[in-house]
Chain A
């Protein structure tokens, strides 16, 4: 039980210190003037 509580607290702390980023960044190749 104590182990589970510790894991939950660690996960909560990690969640509090990490900024969540959703989605993804598109990186299309540049189309150049020929």
Chain B
């Protein structure tokens, strides 16, 4: 399995246009990351995330108590659980699925997930956990990245 270092992860994010102006706004906690395939995110992961949230009855958006940042946090944490449970996972790795806070073109703050499914800029995938779909951010939305956490 291909893995990347924290430095490579940060460089790939920057090349893809996700570089918060404040350096401390990017938190990369681990030294080495395994990368999920895009097919996994859009398929088995999305289905499993739905089952997780259905089990705990947290599928419905609720102001403050279960809103965008909560959906993003849950999705990133659940991805980490699946990584930990995967037999034969690359040793001593985290999973390159994180959280992204940014300001939408409408001016509204929003939180979603961001994942690296490879080391090219095009492999940086934004994932909306409320719809369980891959989404595209505009260049101006990328410029208004506020927090990235892996």
Query: Which size bracket describes the interface of A in this complex?
Result: 10 to 19
Q: Are A32 and B81 in contact (CB under 8 A)?
A: no
Q: Are B55 and A30 in contact (CB under 8 A)?
A: no
Q: Which residues of B contact A29 (CB under 8 A)?
A: 82, 85-87
B51 on interface, CB distance cutoff 8 Å: yes
Neighbour of A21 across the interface among B36, B56, B85, B95, CB < 8 A: B56
Q: Which residue of B lies closest to A26 (CB)?
A: B48
Q: Are B40 and A31 in contact (CB under 8 A)?
A: yes
A30 CB → nearest B CB, Å? 5
B83 on interface, CB distance cutoff 8 Å: yes
CA A25 – CA B35 in complex, angstroms? 22
Q: Which residues of B contact A25 (CB under 8 A)?
A: 48, 51-52, 55
B134 on interface, CB distance cutoff 8 Å: no
CA A24 – CA B52 in complex, angstroms? 8
CA A34 – CA B3 in complex, angstroms? 8
Neighbour of B48 across the interface among A22, A27, A31, A32, CB < 8 A: A27
B77 on interface, CB distance cutoff 8 Å: no
Q: Given A27-B85, A28-B45, A29-B85: A34 and B51 within 8 A (CB)?
A: no
Q: Can you list 24 pairs linking A and B with CB atoms under 8 Å apart?
A: A24-B55, A25-B51, A25-B52, A25-B55, A26-B44, A26-B47, A27-B48, A27-B82, A27-B85, A28-B44, A28-B45, A28-B48, A29-B85, A29-B86, A30-B89, A30-B95, A31-B44, A32-B34, A33-B1, A33-B2, A33-B36, A33-B37, A33-B117, A34-B2
Chain A positions near chain B (C-beta within 8 angstroms): 21-34
